[in-house]
Chain A
Amino acid sequence: MSCNRLVLALSVIALLTAPAMIHAGAAKTDEPLFSRHVVPLFSRLGCNSGACHGTVQGQNGFRLSLFGVDPAQDRDNLLRDSGGRRLDLNNPANSLFLLKAVGHVAHEGGVRVRQQSWEYEMLHKWVAKGVPLDDLSKSRVVKLKVTPAANTLKPGSSVELRIDATFADGSTEDVTKFCTFETQDPDVARAEGGAKILALQPGLSAVVIRYGAEPVVAMVTVPRPDGAPFPVVKGNNFIDEHVLAQLKQLNIPPSDLCDDAIFLRRASLDVTGSLPTPQEVRAFLTDKNPEKRAKKIDELLSRPGYSALWATKFSDLLKASSFDANFAMSEAAETKRFYDWLRARLQENVAYDEFVERIVTATSREGRNQEDWIKEVQTLAEENARNAPGLTLYTGRKTLDLYWQRKEATGIKGTLQVAHAFLGLRLECAQCHRHPHDVWKQDDLLSFSNFFMRVKGAGYPDAKNLNPQAAERLKKAPLEAKELRAQAKKLQDQMKSLKDKNEIEKCKAESSNLEMKARAIENGPKRYGTEVQHQPGKAGFASVTSPLGTQKSDKLRLLGETKDIKPAPDQDPRKVVMEWMRRPENPYFAKAIVNRVWAHYFTRGIVDPPDHLSPLNPASHRELLDALSKGFVENKYDLKWLHKTILLSRTYQTSSKPNEGNKGDRRNFAYYYLRRPMTEVLIDAVNQVTGAKEKFPPRLYLPEGTKAIEVPGPIRIETESASLAFAYQALGRPARSAQTLCDCERESSATMVGSLFLANHPQVHQKIKAADGRLAQVMKALSKDEERIDELYLIALNRFPTAVERQTVMRYIDGSPSKQLGMEDLLWSLLNSKEFLLNH
């Protein structure tokens, strides 16, 4: 980074001395104003970046505010740091900061400006004038304009951008030479030092321009030069209109439609997380109905796999882990309840805004009196104590209070999570300072956090908040549990002297029953402290302490809004947030989920990374995202409408084979981008192909044969389901850490360990040759090798083999020591082939 900056800074200098740049001198550098000229110049030169003096501790005793957000402080630091050595008002050229900048005194950051440059002149002049501070209220930037904002360029040609700033005092100035320029896709276009943008290859790229801390964005379109006329391609719905229009503009022809077999495999994996069965493939391929793809999409969306897959994805997103806040809860049980609750709602296809409402505004009591809620809690505790399948009660709850019972679910940390999960925003950096890659200021985050300061999460039970009976139970529970354990112990002692098998069994059952009761009695009252509730009148305000000092806000303000809100003391402010989020004009709420769903189907979001909605991270297809979000809201936040609309599009059904004209494309969806399926899906596919079933220890509450996509929480490696746990580890599964607020936590890139696992893990070998496995069944049911080969191809790759493939495999089998061994080799090869390992 610092390297690039240096190169950038140096080349800017080189350019600025060239005659071509003279027009930029139009700005009034003869009367330099500190906040309009000096500070933005610091920004452009990289002086106030995080790597240099903008870091919290400053650099070598000199500190500047990050990106120059606080000019008054910066001037102060220049004047006062190091006993004022940095400035020499009598002999400006002798000012240490100038000597360092030109490299006359050793400067870790290297030479930033040359002495014969307008930059130097300007800084010199500012010192000579006595380092004046201009009126900051007048110099606030109210508008930043870039011209031309939209540019169509040929590869190899370039454009000079011009940036005009309008200030609060009404004046406007060309500030081009104070700006930095960065292209979003450096393969498509590059900032050639300063405002000159060079087009490199066909595609679309935003240019992010910064004047001081203020950003503005320009677009560069580089169409593919001439070539054949753009093909006539018929779209299926409005998605295609947008995607095709852009491709046409870029003169990048889309790939053909994928064939039926690939469509079936792709959609099955994407929607349900499972491969289609051979019967299903056969039926689909022979179905003559022209609407068969649409029919299949409906069918897939109604299968249980759909809700399982999205319950997994939402468990990732909502960080379903860390239920150990007060030792009352069990990770295995609570993650399962969390998952099951999500899955039930997805199955019911609850409108997305209501789905979110039932999470964001969840309370434990849901309006019931305390004793009724305590009854629920007792049942939950008994379920846990039984250590066996059957966590059935929770799914029926209206709201997901478990979301707020996680560790660090409330306060500022909780706010960051809400913003990330439901608004697609990354606000972490704003904890300490203005966000360097976004528009958010510290006060925005704190004022938004104040909506979440009155919610109480899980803690230890406190007798004074409980009704008398509950308080009594809380007090007595440990004693009763102790008593029950003593009885159990007694029974176990008696057991030693028993001879009769039946009596021993009876004794054993009785004692474990007592122990279970003890656990339930103990655990129930512990959960009394987990009540999630709004605490009326509690006036906690968010504050953060960082090396930059303590910041506090006592206002409640929604993100991007200017008005403060004052909810009544008895009103739960989370409800205000919810009402704001579900307003149709909310700029983030619908877009965040639409974009994430899109990213699930297309590898990348329309905004990418998908969890970074920001004016500084422009969408590849802004109008498409707007239209899809609008449609989603108009269709009452119907998730299935969203999935179906995407799946029906020609864009989704495009072949993964690029053509000559589009093979360089990475963001216009000209062909279907290959990707590895989610880890859980891949593991399930291996099991499906080999006919294997996973087993689980009872304490995970999971019946045998549960699919990987249905496993809600973590599995430890030492358990009976070691192979699954290892597969998760080898192939990668997110830890759902509340610290890592990034969709990228779910990584699906290949690793050597992952390849090793599929090629050589003893369990994989075992699954292939198991006596009750899929291969054994095929060998038994079919007698001809050709039929067996066809069947294995249908099972694993969901298509028939080609003639050459069939012939190759036949020869291989003929040369094998036995048919069985040859077929095992074939199945292994299919499982390790690219075609199997990828969704294509």
Chain B
Amino acid sequence: MLSIFDRGFENTLSRREFLRVGSLALGGLTLPGLLASRSAANPTNRRAFKDKSVVMLFLQGGPPQTETFDPKMNAEQRVRSITGEVQTSLPGATFGGTFPKLARHAHRTAVVRNFSVGRGGPSHERGYELVLAGGETIGSTMGSIYARAAGSTHHQTGMPTNAIILPEAIDPNIQLGGPSGAFTLQQTLRYLASAGGLGTPYAPFNPSGGGQLLSNLQLRLSRQEFDDRRRLLAQLDSLQRSLDATRELDGADQFQQQAYEVLVRGVAQAFDLRCEDPRVIAAYDTSAMVPISDIRRGGTRYRNNFNRSTNLLGKQMLMARRLCEAGCGFVTVVDSCWDFHNDGNNPPVQEGFDVLGPQADHAISAFLEDVEARGLSEKILLIVTAEFGRTRPDARGGTGHWGELCPLLLAGGGLRMGQVIGASDRSGLRASGDPYTPQHLLATVMHTLFDIGEIRVQPDLPRNILATITNGRPISELV
């Protein structure tokens, strides 16, 4: 199982002897994960990876384009932002009225106002596929594609390279959502945490088993004792090697190997916000902004679909930053219930923004400030988007799904910031001129994470994955 045992680790060694060899091995050889060794561990190919991370804040439900980053207050009445607008630090550009804090950072962001994800009003599920998988590519989310190329754990830290942070990752005891409705936990995981055809090793790591999983990530034994045990295990397993003569179980082996690396490398700390400076936590924290009781009241009123909204987004963003620092290359943060139909199951636009808007404003701003203060702005690309935008509100302030425009804001990652890219047309429903699409977003992400020239010569990467990574055209204003 461990590569070192494959090279003549005799089963007659005494414990003391095998400790000596073992510690040498652990110190010098850093037992590469099998996944990593197959693709990314080869140092000559490390150049293909730019040592950058992407944090995608996914506003699940699909907030309107107008009330987020394209208020259109000069358009006719029914097109304008219901929440008004705020002037931003970018001359001439405004954001929706609930984003005053973010507006002050607008010069550190790039807003794309002609981002179009699909025709008409797709379902949420279709929207997830379109945006997260970069439109019609290979049907796997961008994070999974990254993990497939980079290895599912970081070659040095053991950190999963692709992770998803749901509110449950912050508060393990929280019970969100019911058994049905548009945003059940099950649906969310199924679509937002999907690896498509790439297979489960590349699906995002989901730390929301709460305290249980976190405590599970912390090694319960002394390092010495654990190393002894896994050496014994490797020996006993190798004696039964014929059990897997067909190598059908390689995948399972990889997981076991990955798990052990996570344990011995102390990755768990990244998931533990208690290890963070309390002042930093306070700066991110959004839980005081909206009392959870208000949110739950909303959840009761709109019982089916509004019940996965929380006030935990700030801490989710903080955890995203911590994971990036520990070597995670793609973090998906999910903030749910931006689905403003006003149909009894979902709130109208104004009410939805009253609850969700200020929190997102604060959380995104805190993230940008913190990342800037740590000198990571160039290293981390933040993307704020959703599965689609909305139709114009009806008389009661309800809106429908609308794929032809979708909110999109980017920040950092070494891309060109301080600009508004593209425009919507007068109707506020379509791009003016040719739109940018999820393919462009995917290409932008891949260009941020990979050196495209180098990744082309990466061995052992299936052609279709390689094509997906390298073929697209990034949003030209950004690169």
Contacts and interface: CB of A to CB of B under 8 A. Distances in A.
B7 interface: no
B431 to A, nearest CB: 15
Interface in A360-414: 407
A663 B245 contact: yes
Contact of A750 (B14, B228, B246, B251): B251
Interface string B1-39: 000000000011111100000000000000000000000
A815 B15 contact: yes
A494 interface: no
Interface stretch (A175-183, A508-516, A521-529, A831-839): A831-839
Contacts of B215: 762
Contacts of A828: 229, 233
A811 interface: yes
Contacts of B246: 658, 663
Nearest to A55: B119
Contacts of B217: 756, 760
A660 to B, nearest CB: 10
Interface residues of B, number: 60
Contact of B186 (A735, A762, A809): A735
B240 A835 contact: yes
B255 interface: yes
A765 B210 CA distance: 19
Given A826-B232, A829-B232, A755 B256 contact: yes
B15 A811 contact: yes
A755 B255 contact: yes
A820 interface: no
A834 B237 contact: yes
A749 B175 CA distance: 27
Contact of A749 (B13, B15, B200): B200
B84 interface: no
A690 interface: no
Nearest to A765: B220
Contact of B243 (A756, A760, A838): A838
A656 B243 contact: yes
A805 B240 CA distance: 10
Contacts of B220: 760-762, 765
A825 B246 CA distance: 29
B255 A812 contact: no
B277 interface: no
Interface stretch (B257-265, B311-319, B333-341, B394-402): B257-265
B236 A751 contact: no
B228 A833 contact: no
B179 A674 contact: no
A717 to B, nearest CB: 7
B175 to A, nearest CB: 8
Interface in B340-382: none
A834 B119 CA distance: 49
Interface string A637-670: 0000000000000000000111000010000000
A796 B229 CA distance: 16
A553 interface: no
Given A750-B252, A825-B229, A828-B229, A756 B216 contact: yes
Nearest to A831: B233
B18 to A, nearest CB: 8
A829 B262 contact: no
Contacts of B205: 752
A751 B200 contact: yes
Interface string B210-248: 101101111111000100110011011101101111101
Contacts of A495: none
Contacts of A807: 12
Interface centre among A1, A3, A755, A837 (most CB of B within 10 A): A755
Nearest to A835: B240
A835 B16 contact: no
B349 to A, nearest CB: 25
Interface residues of A, number: 63
Nearest to B212: A726
A424 B255 CA distance: 33
A753 to B, nearest CB: 7
A834 B179 contact: no
Contacts of A750: 251-252, 255-256
A586 B139 CA distance: 38
B42 interface: no
B469 to A, nearest CB: 14
B186 A752 contact: no
B288 interface: no
Nearest to A825: B229
A754 B12 CA distance: 31
B276 interface: no
B259 A752 contact: yes
Nearest to A60: B119
Contacts of B179: 321-322, 324, 737
Contact of A753 (B209, B244, B260): B209
Interface string B164-180: 00000000110100011
A241 to B, nearest CB: 26
Interface in A789-840: 802, 804-805, 807-809, 811-812, 814-816, 821, 825-826, 828-830, 832-835, 837-838, 840
B249 interface: yes
A127 B239 CA distance: 71
A752 B258 contact: yes
Interface centre among B139, B246, B258 (most CB of A within 10 A): B246
A824 B210 CA distance: 28
A759 B260 contact: yes
A657 B228 contact: no
Given A51-B136, A726-B209, A753-B213, A833 B236 contact: yes
Contact of A808 (B11, B244, B260): B11
B235 A752 contact: no
B209 A730 contact: yes
Contact of A838 (B201, B212, B233, B249): B249
Nearest to A762: B220
A761 B244 CA distance: 26
B45 interface: no
B432 interface: no
B294 to A, nearest CB: 23
B120 interface: yes
Contacts of B300: none
A765 B218 CA distance: 13
Contacts of A840: 243
Contacts of B221: 760, 765
A3 B139 CA distance: 11
Nearest to A840: B243
A118 interface: no
Contacts of A802: 239
Interface centre among A718, A735, A834 (most CB of B within 10 A): A834
Given A735-B186, A826-B232, A759 B209 contact: no
The 9 A-B pairs at the shortest CB distance, nearest first, are namely A815-B15, A750-B252, A755-B259, A829-B233, A726-B212, A756-B259, A755-B256, A829-B232, A752-B255
25 contacts: A1-B139, A673-B248, A676-B252, A716-B175, A730-B213, A737-B179, A752-B152, A752-B205, A752-B259, A755-B255, A759-B263, A762-B215, A805-B236, A808-B236, A811-B12, A828-B229, A829-B229, A829-B236, A832-B233, A833-B237, A833-B240, A834-B244, A837-B252, A838-B243, A838-B249
Given A753-B259, A756-B216, A757-B216, 6 more contacts: A737-B179, A760-B216, A760-B221, A808-B239, A809-B232, A828-B233
Interface of A: 1-3, 51, 57, 321-322, 324, 407, 656-658, 663, 673-674, 676, 716-718, 722, 726, 729-730, 735, 737, 749-757, 759-762, 765, 802, 804-805, 807-809, 811-812, 814-816, 821, 825-826, 828-830, 832-835, 837-838, 840
Interface of B: 11-16, 119-120, 136, 138-139, 152, 160, 172-173, 175, 179-180, 186, 200-201, 205, 209-210, 212-213, 215-221, 225, 228-229, 232-233, 235-237, 239-240, 242-246, 248-249, 251-252, 255-256, 258-260, 262-263, 464
